[in-house]
Amino acid sequence: MDPQLTFDTHIKHLCKTSFYHLKNIAKLHPTLTLADAEKLVHAFVSSRLDYCHALLIGISGKSIQRLQYIQNSMGDSTQNQALQHGLEAAIKKLDPEDGDHILEYIQTHAMLTREKALLQASVRDQKKLLVENGKLKTDIEQLKVQLKEKQRRRTVRASSDCLSLGAEPNIDVSRLNLRVGRILGVRRHPLAEAMSVQEVDVGEDAPRTVVSKLGEKTPLEELRGGLAVLLCNIKACKVRGVVSQARFLCCSVSDDCSELLAPPPGSTPGDRVTCLNYPGEPDRELQSKQRVWELVQPDLQVDSKGVANYKGCGFEVKGKGLCRAPSLTNCIIR
């Protein structure tokens, strides 16, 4: 029961039922006469409107409009039926012989017009679908590209994270850029008596400047023109005001007893010193954070035969021989 007597639920149900019957009657109208169409409309629609209509006095204007819309639809349905029957009668009266053919033609033409309209509507819908499918494919391709880019970034980030966590390349002697060098000039360090400054040819366009303590025990003139092995990929740094660009490899028993590691006879400036069991290209520059030299240096030694080696593998200049200590044996290289 409607407590406020608005009859909204009743009117809603009445509209739904009435339009359902009107649609069914409209489907049958080609086979119905005007009188039969009026009977069906009164039986299924107007009778529902007339039932207890006195109770609908005072309902809202919106509800009245909905009921009026039903009545208008009833009138349209019967009017269309009357027009159709009137048209048929007029055509048969004008041309009794071919009236039926004319009506058939008109009906066929009307049916084809409706089918054409439906076909055009379906073609328009199909074109819209094709356009939407094209846009969808473009969006999918763009999403694929974005996904690949995200995966690439994740891979790069993951690799950088691994490096930062210590998953770095193997630390061994192959990462050291060891070269044969010829000492071109030697002078005393201007600010340190125990140090000397050497100009060394390592096969490059210009000689490198090296600051060392070689002149402390060895006369400077004996160093001039000699060959030595140098570590060339350390980071250049200032030593008491002079920039040092490389490091001599020295065989040492103690701080007071050391000598330059000698390359094999026939070596020329720029020849690379390698270990057979540790192939690979050296780093462009050793990073101080990775401490490559500090980790490799304890395994650099001179054996009992005076041959320099790393973990038992001798230092060699390919095709020319092994690097040796001039006189020391069983000592370290630093």
Q: Give the domain CATH number at 216.
A: 2.40.50.140
My answer on whether 200 and 301 are in the same domain is yes
Which tokens sit at 308?
A: 């320099």
Q: What share of the chain is helix, strand, coil (3-state, %, to 5)?
A: 50, 20, 30
Q: Provide CB contacts within 8 A for 189, sequence distance 6+.
A: 195, 196, 197, 211, 239, 240, 242
Enter the tokens of residue 187: 């002078």
**Distance separating alpha carbons of residues 169 and 166, to the nearest angstrom:** 9
Domain boundary among 94, 109, 131: 94
Q: Where a domain ends, among 94, 115, 133?
A: 94
What stretches of the chain show up as alpha helix (H) in DSSP? 8-28, 34-41, 47-50, 61-94, 99-164, 220-223, 292-296
Residue 146 lies in a domain: no
Q: What is the pLDDT of residue 53?
A: 66
**pLDDT (tens digit, 0 to 9) for every residue of the chain, 334 residues total?**
566 667 778 778 888 888 887 788 777 766 767 677 777 777 777 777 777 666 777 777 777 777 777 777 766 655 555 555 555 666 666 666 776 776 677 777 777 887 888 888 888 888 888 888 888 888 898 999 999 888 888 887 776 665 555 545 688 999 999 999 999 999 988 888 888 999 999 999 999 999 988 866 677 788 889 999 999 999 999 988 899 999 999 998 887 788 899 999 999 999 999 998 898 899 999 988 888 999 999 999 999 999 999 999 999 999 999 999 999 999 999 8
Report if residue 220 sits inside a domain: yes
Asked if 179 and 230 count as a contact pair (C-beta separation under 8 A), the reply is yes
Q: Select from 302, 228, 301, 310 the least CA-distant residue to 270.
A: 228
Q: Tell whether 224 and 322 lie within a shared domain.
A: yes
- What's the pLDDT score for residue 155? 81
Within-domain flag for 117: no
Q: For the range 8-12, what are the long-range contacts, defined as Cβ-Cβ under 8 Å and sequence gap of 24 or more?
A: 8/63, 11/59, 11/63, 11/66, 11/67
* CA angle (167 as vertex; 164, 170 as ends), nearest 5: 125
121 is a domain residue = no
Residue 272 backbone phi and psi in degrees, to 5: -90, 140
Mark out the alpha helices in 176-245 (DSSP H runs).
Answer: 220-223
Question: How many domains does the chain contain in total?
Answer: 2
* 65 in a structural domain: yes
Distance CA 176, CA 232 (A): 8
Q: Dihedral, CA atoms, 225, 229, 235, 236, nearest 10 degrees?
A: -10
In a domain, 100, yes or no: no
Tell whether 222 and 320 lie within a shared domain: yes
Same domain for 327 and 185? yes
**Amino acid letter, residue 109:** H
Reference 221, options 196, 244, 191, 252; nearest CA is 196
Note whether residue 82 is domain-resident: yes
Query: Which residues are paired to 167 by β-bridges?
Result: none
Same domain as 88, residue 190: no
Distance CA 183, CA 190 (A): 19
Q: Is 177 found in the same domain as 90?
A: no
Residue type, 292: V
Same domain for 81 and 181, yes or no, is: no
- Name residue 55's amino acid: L
How many alpha carbons fall within 13 Å on the CB side of residue 222? 8
Domain that holds residue 59: 8-94
Question: pLDDT for 245-303, tens place per residue?
Answer: 999 999 988 877 888 999 999 999 999 999 988 988 999 999 888 889 999 999 999 99
In a domain, 239, yes or no: yes
